[in-house]
Amino acid sequence: MSPQPDSLTPIERRTTVALAAVFAMRMLGLFVVLPVLAIYGRELEGATPLLIGLAIGAYGLVQGLLQIPFGLLSDRYGRKPMIFIGLTMFAAGGLVAAASTSIWGVIAGRALQGTGAVSGVVMALLSDLTRESHQTRAMAIIGATVGLSFGVAMVLGPLIVDATGLSGLFLFTSLMALVSLALVMWYVPTPVAMVTASRRRMWPQMIRVLRHQGLFRLDMGVFLLHLVMVAVFVVVPPSLEVYEHLPASMHWKIYLPVILLSLVFMTPLMMHAERAGRTRGMLLIAAAGLVLALLLLALFHRSLWGVVIALLVYFTAFNLLEALMPSMVSRMSPAGARGAAMGVYSSGQFFGAFAGGLVGGGLSSVFEPEVVLMVCSALFAAWAVLAAGLKLQTRRQNLSLELSGTSLDPQWVATQLLAIPGVLEATVVQEEGVVYVAVDGAHCDAPRLHAAWSRIALGPQ
């Protein structure tokens, strides 16, 4: 058995960077629409404020509905085929929207883009190809690129529309999807993963995921995290315009530096949690930080420096939670149901964003911004209390086995490993010459596993 070094292996680094780039480009393709569609969409035939809002929200709603089916299918048919299908649908939706001159065509294109619901599948693939001890770091890299994509999109979206119009913007989103598809095809290894549960029993696995108390708490957490994020950006930008007389075209000068600086603050906190094994404790600290940031926004949203400091605390906590929670979901997932668990988690993200628009818009039409922010703070504080009861699995262990015989059939290798009592999952990565094995520490004897592996490595007799 190979040692568990502190650094990522070459394959883990390549996989993490490639999938982070996929996430970044896909989210860039989503975010660039946000700052411009509400303004330039008025020029489309049949456009009304309600239909423009539907065009913006259709993507997130469809994404939320399809994350779970994509996750279930990825457990059965493999991660990469589902990612290929999803990115192709996303690119096709961009082409439909680009060719449309009416608001209904844009709505159809945005809904078609939403059918590319691969966020959960991408995170499940990343979990398949990285050791559990390094998953928080890998998830943090993806979380960082998403935050960076948001800041870049605030700058890039208006520039693209000014140069090419809305059609050029939607073509840009399709290009990002196609580049992402090429990255997955050529740079991400294809794991051969076998699990103890039958891949045909999808719905029993789904029920296990939905009944899991720890996963439920994390799913609620990401739902509220994204609800609050969207609600915040419903009320904060108007406050900057009204109280600081800062036009919307200048807001990126606040968001981009704050996001970059928050990543600098978040990274050492995440690394400490990973190395010290204090993921749960850091999760609670991040949740408390987010509640504090919302209270600061409520108190100082009429002050430019108050907003800057509060947003810095907010994005540091937000990015830390975005790194820690999917890693915890991966660890808690029942054997053979990681794709399903990640699908439910990703659905929580998109449904939360959709609900955040409704909550933020509805409350802000009746109450002052500070009331909206106080409500958001109370909601997340309630979840923090719920999260205090989270318990990570301690019996599950992850080992890496050296695969010296690259001519061995990976399917056969995985099947043989799964026949050993206590082995939960086996993932063969031929490019790296390694097999990642998840075992139940209470029912798997390491010396016995080592002896069995010595026989398996010799090949079929």
264: domain CATH number is 1.20.1250.20
Q: Does 461 fall in a domain?
A: no
Give the span between the Cα atoms of 73 and 55, in whole angstroms: 28
Q: Both 69 and 190 in a single domain?
A: yes
Q: Does 82 fall in a domain?
A: yes
Distances (CA, A) of 79 to 53, 184, 252: 32, 10, 35
Q: Both 191 and 147 in a single domain?
A: yes
Q: Both 262 and 303 in a single domain?
A: yes
Q: Does 157 fall in a domain?
A: yes
pLDDT of residue 50: 72
Token pair for residue 348? 């929580």
438 - beta bridge partners? 398, 425
pLDDT of residue 444: 65
Which of 356, 387, 418 terminates a domain? The answer is 387
Domain that holds residue 248: 10-387
Which of 140, 361, 167, 362 has the alpha carbon at shortest distance from 271? 140
Q: What is the pLDDT of residues 129-153, one digit of tens each?
A: 776 666 667 777 776 677 677 778 7
Total domains present in the chain: 2
Place of tokens 């922010």: 373
- Spans in the chain with pLDDT lower than 50: 1-5, 196-200
410: domain CATH number is 3.30.70.100
Distances (CA, A) of 203 to 177, 207, 320, 333: 30, 6, 32, 15
Which of 350, 366, 387 terminates a domain? The answer is 387
pLDDT of residue 317: 92
What spatial distance separates the first Cα and last Cα of the chain, rounded to whole Å? 22
pLDDT of residue 286: 93
Token pair for residue 138? 């890998």
Q: What is the pLDDT of residues 188-226, one digit of tens each?
A: 877 765 554 444 455 666 677 777 788 889 999 999 998
Which of 387, 406, 434 terminates a domain? The answer is 387
Q: Does 3 fall in a domain?
A: no
Q: Both 164 and 69 in a single domain?
A: yes
What strands, in cross-sheet order, belong to the sheet with 423-429?
192-195, 423-429, 434-440, 396-402
447 - beta bridge partners? none
Residue 6 DSSP class: S
Q: Both 113 and 90 in a single domain?
A: yes
Q: Both 39 and 174 in a single domain?
A: yes
Q: Does 226 fall in a domain?
A: yes
Token pair for residue 358? 């409704």
Q: Both 318 and 432 in a single domain?
A: no
Q: Does 2 fall in a domain?
A: no
Taking a C-beta distance cutoff of 8 angstroms, is the pair 418, 195 a contact? yes
pLDDT of residue 87: 93
pLDDT of residue 381: 94
Q: Both 300 and 411 in a single domain?
A: no
In DSSP notation, 41-84 reads GGGSBT--HHHHHHHHHHHHHHHHHHHHHHHHHHHHH-HHHHHH
Q: Both 411 and 323 in a single domain?
A: no
